[in-house]
Structure 1
Amino acid sequence: MSDQETPVSGKAPDPPPGPALRPVRGAARCAVAALALAALAWAARAVWHVRLAMAGQPASGPPDQGGGQHRPLTALEDSYHLVSSWGGAVTLLCALAFLLWLDRVRDNARALSGTEPRYGYPWLILAWIVPVVNLWIPRGIVADAHRSVFPDRRLPAVVNWWWALWLAGLAGGVGLVYADSTDEVIARAYTDVLPLLAADMVIVAAAGTAALMIRTLTTAQQERMDETAPTGRPGTAS
């Protein structure tokens, strides 16, 4: 053997490590807790809608008198403003917790399947706010994260139930996205409370279904992660 020859080893070099799996159970628990708070917030709104309807509109008329004029709020109307503000803050917290969970699920799906997500990272945010595409891409992101890991399984039905309830909550401008101001919603509660109550109940149901979906998909992904851990697969967390 010449000095320039290098002995050839019979062992192939180790493959480069794959993407590391991220803990998902903690993020799932946070998202479920936030959804429970959101459901409570919207249930509280429903209670105040009923209280407003039962109290009846004051003789002075609705809070928004038109032409930029607003009368002083009653104690009940003022408390509804507080409940509405609290609900908005909780909804924002819920959205952040949900996105953090979804980000981890997507990353783990990429590591477990070895395939890139169907929708790029910017869609994790844009999918919820861009008109028209927000009617289907958010569901597609969730479905893709599950199907990439379990291509031989049917998508859990709870995903479709969650998305149907979410869309119903968005419909009509009386649910998750109010087209009216808080004072205008108060006036609607005085005159036609049933659509408001229907929207409130749909949103509470959507929050409960979303929590069930998170538990279902997280459990499935965690089981796959546990299966790969003993094999010493590159990128698998111990």
Structure 2
Amino acid sequence: MNNDDVVNMTQPPARPVRGTARIAVAGLALAGAAWAARAVWHIRLAVAGMPASGPIDQGGGQHREPTALEDSYHFVSSLGEVATVLCAAAFLNWLWRVRDNARAFSGERARYVWPWMYVGWIVPIMNLWVPRGIVVDIHRASAPGQRLPSVVNWWWGLWLAGMLGGVGLIYADDTDDVIGRAYTDVWQLLVADAAVIGAAVAAVLVVRTLTKVQQDRLDGTSQAVTASASAGPVAGG
């Protein structure tokens, strides 16, 4: 028994991925729609202009009552945060499945051990390349010799722009501060919004591309096994 036989015996077989891919796409669509709604509210706030009473944070620990538009933005922002969490859960669930399949296809241990599937997105510096590296490794194992789809780089570039833009996916300001920015520098918010929405769209294409690569390979294996089973009795006769 050689090493490949040992790996094949210990590694679970690849599993269908279409179901988890559909859930991931739905999550990404929800998150993209939520951030599009945020962008609409940013524009509405900019058009309305800052009230004569000034910003919500009056300084010295004093806050004025928010307007109806500002209050509705708090609601939209909260919905966006919930949608982002749901999207992350759905995307990671899909990523786990295709990662396991990639390992089953290649018979090799993944370059990034399992904790990096989570902490790779949040550990400073490492989060600049680890998640992309995971996706690249999955594609390499699933489609040996094939060129990495350009949409992976588009997705990652847009994700970084949204994450590092200072007003996108990760920012230190609270909601009231973001409202203040909408009154004074709305273009910064809209650039970050566009990057996040673009990253969501590109991520949908990444999910669909890698899912097709793996599902085609699974379907091809299944057809080969069926053909072999059908030919068996004939050869034995």
Per-residue deviation, 1:196 = 0.4
Whether 2:99 is the aligned partner of 1:106: answer: yes
**Which amino acid is the alignment partner of residue 183 of structure 1?**
D
Which 5+ residue runs of structure 1 have no aligned equivalent? 1-14, 234-238
Per-residue deviation, 1:18 = 4.5
SS at match of 1:121: coil
Q: Percent identity?
A: 65
Per-residue deviation, 1:128 = 0.4
Partner of 1:199: 192
**Which amino acid is the alignment partner of residue 116 of structure 1?**
R
User: Using CA pairs below 8 Å that are at least 6 residues apart, which structure has the higher relative contact order?
Assistant: 1
The one of 221, 228, 233 aligned to 2:221: 228
Query: CA separation of 1:18/1:131 partners in 2, compared to 1, >3 Å: closer, same or farther?
Result: closer
Partner of 1:147: 140
Per-residue deviation, 1:61 = 0.7
Per-residue deviation, 1:17 = 7.0
| Deviations, residues 147-197 of structure 1 (Å, cap 9, x unaligned) | 012221111111001000000101231111122110000001011101101
Q: Is the 8 A contact 2:142 2:213 kept in 1?
A: no
Per-residue deviation, 1:67 = 2.0
SS at match of 2:58: strand
The structure having more radius of gyration, on CA atoms, is: 1
Give matches, 1:31-50, under 5 Å.
31-50=24-43
Partner of 1:56: 49
Partner of 2:18: 25
Which 5+ residue runs of structure 2 have no aligned equivalent? 1-7, 227-237
**Which amino acid is the alignment partner of residue 59 of structure 2?**
G
Question: What CA distance in whole angstroms lies between the structure 2 residues aligned with 1:214 and 1:18?
Answer: 23
Query: CA separation of 1:156/1:59 partners in 2, compared to 1, >3 Å: closer, same or farther?
Result: same
Per-residue deviation, 1:16 = 3.9
- Paired residue total: 219
Question: What CA distance in whole angstroms lies between the structure 1 residues aligned with 2:143 and 2:208?
Answer: 16
Partner of 2:166: 173
The one of 127, 152, 163 aligned to 1:159: 152
The one of 121, 125, 129 aligned to 2:122: 129
Per-residue deviation, 1:222 = 0.5
Partner of 2:108: 115
| Deviations, residues 69-126 of structure 1 (Å, cap 9, x unaligned) | 1111100000000000000000000000000000000000111111111100111001
- How does the TM-score come out when normalised to structure 2? 0.89
**Which amino acid is the alignment partner of residue 221 of structure 2?**
T
Q: Where is the helix percentage greater, Structure 1 or Structure 2?
A: 2
